[in-house]
Chains A and B, each alone.
Chain A
Amino acid sequence: EPEVTQTPSHQVTQMGQEVILRCVPISNHLYFYWYRQILGQKVEFLVSFYNNEISEKSEIFDDQFSVERPDGSNFTLKIRSTKLEDSAMYFCASSGLSDVRGYTFGSGTRLTVV
């Protein structure tokens, strides 16, 4: 079964530092997503990406966040200047063109901002 791969599994960073979370979506998928889950809370949508541009983003996804698909296989989420409240589990997901098959989630990156 194809998988979505995320690295690293756990990242600790100091407040104000930049972090890049990496994801390798399923190769024939066309839509890519980032979600986050603050400890004990629900999974929240951050951004969706299609055809090399953002197709939708939430209020959480402010100017401190950016996404990129630099080489046709990786899909990255960058947080420019991390805040304590950015500490969360970040999940990458991908899906095909149609919503019929659903979404495949990665195992997540736990980001801890200290």
Chain B
Amino acid sequence: AQSVSQHNHHVILSEAASLELGCNYSYGGTVNLFWYVQYPGQHLQLLLKYFSGDPLVKGIKGFEAEFIKSKFSFNLRKPSVQWSDTAEYFCAVNRRTGTASKLTFGTGTRLQVTL
């Protein structure tokens, strides 16, 4: 069964600091990878996704993530965080079958950005 690990449970950063959130997955086959963000009281929103091609993926709001196949990792980065980035961030994976399949989520990382 596939699983997703997010080792950082709670991260506190000052505004303008750089961000890197770890995500590792375990699955023997080919996967699609996602990062979702959940602002307080809101639903999950897609930040970025990786299916194939360039392993460095750029998403919305200045976020990017790098797929490193040898490390089974898909870490999320942002060079300079803003107070408005305060949210919960979820990494997710599904099997690449060509048709839709369920997402498996990590436990999430709560990011708190201070002024």
Contact = CB atoms under 8 A, between A and B. Distances in A.
A3 B3 CA distance: 28
B8 interface: no
B97 interface: yes
Contacts of B7: none
Contacts of A48: 100-102
Given A42-B90, A43-B44, A91-B44, A99 B102 contact: no
B34 interface: yes
Interface in A74-114: 91, 93, 95-100, 102-103, 105-108
Interface residues of A, number: 26
B99 A33 contact: no
A68 to B, nearest CB: 19
Nearest to B32: A99
A56 B34 CA distance: 20
B102 to A, nearest CB: 5
A35 B108 CA distance: 15
A43 B44 CA distance: 10
B109 to A, nearest CB: 11
B105 interface: yes
A33 B102 contact: yes
B108 A42 contact: yes
Given A42-B90, A99-B32, A56 B102 contact: yes
A65 interface: no
A44 B105 contact: yes
Interface of B: 32, 34, 36, 42-46, 49, 51, 90, 92, 94, 96-108
17 contacts: A31-B99, A42-B90, A42-B106, A42-B108, A44-B105, A45-B102, A48-B100, A48-B102, A56-B101, A91-B44, A97-B99, A99-B32, A99-B97, A102-B34, A103-B100, A105-B44, A106-B43
